[in-house]
Amino acid sequence: MSDNAASVHPKVWAAMQAADAPDAPYDGDALSQRLDAAFADLFGQPCAVLWVATGTAANCLALAALVPPHGGVICHREAHVETDECGAPAFYTHGAKLILADGEGAKLTPETLDAAIGQIRKDVHQVQPHAVTITQASEYGRCYRPAELAALIRRACDHGLARHMDGARFANAVAFLNCSPAEACGPVDALTFGCVKNGGMGAEALVLFDPALADLVRVRRKRAGHLQSKGRYLAAQILAMVDGGLWLDNARAANDAATEIGAAAADRLLHPVEANEVFARLSPAERAALRQQGFAFYDWGDDAARFVTAWNARADHVSALSRALVAL
């Protein structure tokens, strides 16, 4: 039960195979050239879209375009860029500092942003913040409501910060919030639009709302060895996702499964279930019991578990897990 190793959606497979005829290499092919328009449509504003293989690459290419090597990026102290990317942000930005901020549910607030900035002396001896990165949905599957997000971004702008959104599970957030993609994203400079956890194979879309950034990122993508010569297969995956709304269908399916599991574990929840993750208090014995019944999940510290549902969560499996949780 995980989303980042799940099978590839049949429509994605079909789109990839339809892309098999030779076309221009790199991103000169017809599919790669369609990405900008497809996302401009989705977000109701012009943008430039580049494919890359992983969310880490997308996040870090974005940050490297927004922050100089001597600058800082404010992120939540439990953000993926801080805890799970092996220092990739420092590699891509050439040593920019991640400045850690707090916030319930791994969500930043205007106040925690202020607090993180407030402790920095404005002199040459301390690293100054240049950007903020916001994760939607957060590492705990929590979603920023449009008004919350707008307030946070306004505060970031007041501080003169560039804005990046890590949307590895952006689809799950939009599905939960039931708002437009633009509302779920807010006015940021760059968005990592995740596909891999949502039925894709190996393609994420890096959406740049400032075209000047795109020129920079295109160079940096090549320099990072992320410019694949048969890029059309990546573009095909992304287009398969956004064409016809597959991205939201898949996200809804995963969210629904998490909601069902969350309901079964209602009195055990560490966090409200909003996207496709369930964090539930479970003793070692309880976890062992569940595993014996065939369920797979991550330990979360000593006394809890993390369940992640995917686009293809089977109803019978979800029900079985829910029953098992209730029965504990």
User: 68 vs 146, which CB is nearer to a second copy?
Assistant: 68
- Residue from 34, 70, 159, 281 touching a second copy (CB under 8 A): that is 70
Rg of the chain's alpha carbons, rounded to an integer?
20
Q: Can residue 309 be called a binding residue for a second copy (CB under 8 A)?
A: no
- Residue from 92, 144, 170, 176 touching a second copy (CB under 8 A): that is 92
Residue showing tokens 């925690």: 112
Residues 6+ positions from 194 with CB-CB distance below 8 Å: 55, 167, 168, 169, 170, 171, 204
Q: Can residue 20 be called a binding residue for a second copy (CB under 8 A)?
A: yes
SS3 state at 299: strand
Structural tokens at position 293:
């019944």
- Residue from 47, 49, 54, 74 touching a second copy (CB under 8 A): that is 54
Residue 297 · residue 265 · CB < 8 Å = no
Phi, psi (deg, nearest 5) at residue 162: -70, 155
Structural tokens at position 203:
């393609």
Residue 232 · residue 31 · CB < 8 Å = yes
CB of 38 to a second copy, least distance (A): 21
Please name which of 143, 114, 128, 121 lies closest in space to residue 70, comparing C-alpha atoms. 128
Q: Can residue 229 be called a binding residue for a second copy (CB under 8 A)?
A: yes
User: 72 vs 186, which CB is nearer to a second copy?
Assistant: 72
User: 56 vs 186, which CB is nearer to a second copy?
Assistant: 56
Residue 134 · residue 152 · CB < 8 Å = yes
- Residue from 136, 228, 259, 276 touching a second copy (CB under 8 A): that is 228
Q: Can residue 90 be called a binding residue for a second copy (CB under 8 A)?
A: yes
- Residue from 118, 122, 147, 225 touching a second copy (CB under 8 A): that is 225
CB of 147 to a second copy, least distance (A): 33
Q: Can residue 33 be called a binding residue for a second copy (CB under 8 A)?
A: no
Q: Can residue 131 be called a binding residue for a second copy (CB under 8 A)?
A: no
Q: Can residue 285 be called a binding residue for a second copy (CB under 8 A)?
A: no
Q: Can residue 219 be called a binding residue for a second copy (CB under 8 A)?
A: yes
Q: Can residue 315 be called a binding residue for a second copy (CB under 8 A)?
A: no
Residue showing tokens 């306004």: 154
Separation between Cα atoms, residue 325 and residue 317, nearest integer Å: 12
Site for a second copy in 171-210 (CB under 8 A): 196-197, 201-202
Structural tokens at position 200:
């894709």
Structural tokens at position 13:
């497979």
User: 4 vs 283, which CB is nearer to a second copy?
Assistant: 4
CB of 318 to a second copy, least distance (A): 15
CA 320, distance to chain mean position in Å, is 28
Q: Can residue 122 be called a binding residue for a second copy (CB under 8 A)?
A: no
Q: Can residue 86 be called a binding residue for a second copy (CB under 8 A)?
A: yes
Q: Can residue 110 be called a binding residue for a second copy (CB under 8 A)?
A: no
- Give the binding range for a second copy (CB under 8 A) out of 22-30, 133-141, 175-183, 313-321: 22-30
Separation between Cα atoms, residue 143 and residue 153, nearest integer Å: 15
User: 217 vs 290, which CB is nearer to a second copy?
Assistant: 217
Phi, psi (deg, nearest 5) at residue 72: -130, 155
- Starting at the edge strand found earlier in the chain, the sheet holding 277-281 runs 277-281, 304-308, 298-299
CB of 150 to a second copy, least distance (A): 30
Q: How many CB atoms lie within 10 A of CB 138?
A: 27
Residues 6+ positions from 282 with CB-CB distance below 8 Å: 268, 290, 303, 304, 305, 328
Q: In the complex, which residues of this chain contact a second copy (CB under 8 A)?
A: 2, 4-8, 13, 17, 20-26, 29, 52-54, 56-61, 68-70, 72, 83-88, 90-97, 124-128, 196-197, 201-202, 216, 218-230, 232-234
